[in-house]
Structure 1
Amino acid sequence: LTVLTSQFNEIKEENKKLSDKLSKMKVELLEYLRSLTSNTDSAANKVRRGMSFEIDDCKFHLEAMTRPDYQPLVDNKRIIEKLQERITLMNMELITEREHNEKIIKDIKDEVETQCGENRNKETSNENIEYDSLNDEMEYQMYLFTLYCNHPVTGEFMESILEVHKDELLPTVLDKAYELMKLAPHIPIERCRLVKYHYVDDLMEQSFDLDEFQHQTIGQIVGRASRYYPFGLFLETCEESEISDKYHDGANNIMISVVDVSTGKGPAKPMRVEEGWTVRELKQHIGEVYSLNSSCMRLVMKNYNDVTDISDVGCTLEEIFRKSTHEDRQVLTLIL
């Protein structure tokens, strides 16, 4: 369409130049003819008539070119109309193709987002599984102990929950227990220690002294991996000049009542004994505590509704206590 328009404009420009040229020639010819009007049969007159015919013929063609039914113009218009129709169809095809391409791009984006969403969900699921696994592993490595303590000022029996990691050293665990029970500034931490404690039996089973266990972790000390333990920890305190006795695993607490045949039964007092002791070793220990002669002692133990004389028994306390209940083994009567 652009080429045809350009050609049409060139034709119009040439026609205009030709018309101008003819007009100029006509003026020159008229001037020349005026000079020859006196001789009509002359060669110049004949030339003038011939040129006049040519000029009229040019006028005829020029007038024909300006009419709507001029064939070259009709052909050009027809070509232009066909080109316009073709351009319209091509525009429609381009629009359809563009819409199709946009739909394909949208489908690709949706598919990519779907895949990314699935990957994100999968990654999130994997992260959650890994997080839960880490939580389970971390939880498995955390130990929970019931912590007990007698307040050094008020004497109040306190109880709390101590949570520590299995790889924490004993001094670190002691620091946490000290802070948990809020013993500062009533007593320095140097006068505190942790003891394996059975609340039901009221038994200090084993002391964890720093001179022996300071380089061991709580996991190494308690022995087995478990979230909860059947025993607790007792935060034991002592006086400034007091030296705490070491408690060994396999000990027991008993109540000793001293009976003098002349004065009657005395009050029961607690005593810690080792289950590996023999009765003879028990007598020696009682003699040291009460400043008594062990050879003059008789020991009797309550057994259900009866009492048993164990003074001359040759076995260990563990074997004796194995046949009795906890309540029975707590009461031993020393007869002088």
Structure 2
Amino acid sequence: MSFEIDDCKFHLKAMTRPDYQPLVDNKRIIEKLRERITLMNIELMTEREHNEKIIKDIEDLKDKETEDPAGDKVTSDEEIEYNSMNDEFKDQICSFKLYCNHPVTGKFLESILEVHKDELLLTVLDKAYELMKLAPHIPIERCRLVKYSYDDDLMEQSFDLDEFQHQTIGQIVGGTRRYYPFGLFIETREENEIFDKYHDGGNNLKISVVDLSTGKVGSAKLVRVEDGWTVGELKHHIGEVYNLNSSCMRFVLEEKNDVTDISDAGSTLGKIFRKSTYKDRQLVYVSSDSEDYKKEFKDSEMYVQICF
């Protein structure tokens, strides 16, 4: 560009000499040349300023980040402070694996939920609800978060709003970690259904109902139970789930090709049943018959149906 300016100046000087004899009136041309020289000077100055700024930025960057004799980078105080704040923020994030059975498709969904440790349970539920895109299929009022074991397919503990609404997620799960040995599950319910409360220390049993009047042994279904329940409480729960009379209910545990009547066991379920896993569930046969219940187990119709 400097060469163009010099060329314009040369022509301008020639045209403004006293002895210059133009063929036509060149006043307009002279004005144009002067304007052109001025504009090109401005452009040249702008370009130089831009280049100087780039050079200055590079020099500043070199000053902030140099190398020590060992070859390691020496970071500026501002960058150290930024990295420190960034690390501190990351240390306050709770990251969970999030699961859900879609209320319409029934598909098992999985995602990653990241929330700040100081967020309240309702806020965390709202973010999980949005992440799984459950609206408008089911209202958030019919959803809750549950501590969930994927390996055992077990709902371990329910985080009900009436109990945990004033607690932060960090308080509920015991602080922030890079990895939690459990996930969170968004459990849903029907409009007129009530959530069961899950306490930490539950178990999954396979329950098979035996109809002694027909001899039909029903397919086994998973039922979550509490380790602290008595057998009487288990009878009450199974009676509600399967609409059976709990007063004459018989429980038979199948274990290692052997069966044991546990209907009148005095221990809690945590002492009767071992912790079942996804691949190893304990099977319990259930019957409800007032006459058969009075008989000794090996003389009962229940024994005949499940052993022969």
- Is the 8 Å Cα contact of residues 203 and 225 (structure 2) preserved in structure 1? yes
* Aligned match of 1:303: 255
1:227 and 2:178 correspond:
yes
Relative distance call for 1:242 and 1:187 in structure 2 (3 A) is: same
Cα deviation per residue 1:176-209 (whole Å; 9 max; x = unaligned)? Answer: 1111111122222222111111112111111112
Separation in 1, partners of 2:65, 2:150: 51
Secondary structure of 2:254's match?
A: strand
1:168 Cα deviation after fit:
0.8
1:134 Cα deviation after fit:
2.4
Q: Aligned pair count?
A: 223
Query: Could you say which structure has the higher helix fraction?
Result: 1
1:177 and 2:128 correspond:
yes
Instruction: State the identity as a percent.
Output: 72
Separation in 1, partners of 2:279, 2:245: 27
Relative distance call for 1:215 and 1:248 in structure 2 (3 A) is: same
Separation in 1, partners of 2:276, 2:188: 32
1:282 Cα deviation after fit:
1.2
1:137 and 2:105 correspond:
no
* Aligned match of 2:219: 267
1:323 Cα deviation after fit:
7.3
Q: Which amino acid aligns with 2:130?
A: E
Separation in 2, partners of 1:264, 1:216: 49
Residue of structure 1 aligned with 2:78, choices 127, 130, 142: 127
Can you give the 5+ residue segments of structure 1 that lack an aligned partner in the other structure?
Answer: 1-113
1:285 and 2:198 correspond:
no
* Aligned match of 1:316: 268
Q: Which has the larger radius of gyration?
A: 1
1:232 Cα deviation after fit:
0.8
1:288 Cα deviation after fit:
3.2
1:152 Cα deviation after fit:
1.4
TM norm structure 1:
0.59
- Is the 8 Å Cα contact of residues 255 and 331 (structure 1) preserved in structure 2? yes
Secondary structure of 2:128's match?
A: helix
- Is the 8 Å Cα contact of residues 301 and 328 (structure 1) preserved in structure 2? no
Cα deviation per residue 1:113-141 (whole Å; 9 max; x = unaligned)? Answer: x9x97677598433333333322222221
Q: Which amino acid aligns with 2:143?
A: C
1:335 Cα deviation after fit:
3.5
User: Greater relative contact order: 1 or 2 (C-alpha under 8 angstroms, separation 6 or more)?
Assistant: 2
**Considering only aligned residues, what root-mean-square deviation do their CA atoms show, in Å?**
2.7
Secondary structure of 2:236's match?
A: helix
Can you give the 5+ residue segments of structure 2 that lack an aligned partner in the other structure?
Answer: 1-58, 67-72, 289-308
